[in-house]
Amino acid sequence: YRDDSLKTVEQNRDDYQIPLKILSYKDLYGWTMDEIVAQIGRKNNCTFCGVFRRQALDRGAALLNVDCIATGHNADDIAETVLMNILRGDIARLSRCTSIIT
């Protein structure tokens, strides 16, 4: 995540007095997303970032010995996912967007 996002996360930590451990891709994988993009280009960077982000959540949970992870999404995230799946013609993934938990 970028510096402005990290500032927001740290502010929320302080405001709500919650424990926080920040792990970077560099910490977990030995390289940053910017270094990955420099190698693979921008065309598939969203795919790599998505996979790495989900794996980072799993690795972070294991490091912290937690059994639950809560993530948040907003309407923009859902709208973007629906639009991408429509443009790709990906009916299987589009059907996942109709779940009540989505």
Q: Is the pLDDT of residue 63 over 80?
A: yes
Going by C-alpha positions, the residue among 85, 87, 53 that lies closest to residue 96 is 85
Do residues 43 and 26 share a domain?
yes
Residue 63 domain boundaries: 3-71
Please tell me whether residues 67 and 80 are part of one structural domain.
Answer: no
Asked if residue 64 and residue 36 are part of one domain, the reply reads yes
Whether 35 and 56 map to the same domain: the answer is yes
Q: Are 78 and 102 in contact (CB under 8 A)?
A: yes
Q: Which residue has the higher pLDDT, 55 or 50?
A: 55
Q: What's the pLDDT band for 99 if we cut at 50, 70, 90?
A: low
Q: Does 54 lie in the same domain as 78?
A: no
Total domains in the fold of the chain: 2
Categorize the per-residue pLDDT at 19 as very low, low, confident or very high, splitting at 50, 70 and 90: confident
Do 77 and 33 fall within a single domain? Answer: no
What integer pLDDT is reported at residue 13 of this predicted model?
A: 93
In percent, how much of the chain has pLDDT > 70?
94
Report the mean per-residue pLDDT for the chain: 84
Same domain for 78 and 50, yes or no, is no
Q: Across residues 93-102, what is the average pLDDT?
A: 69
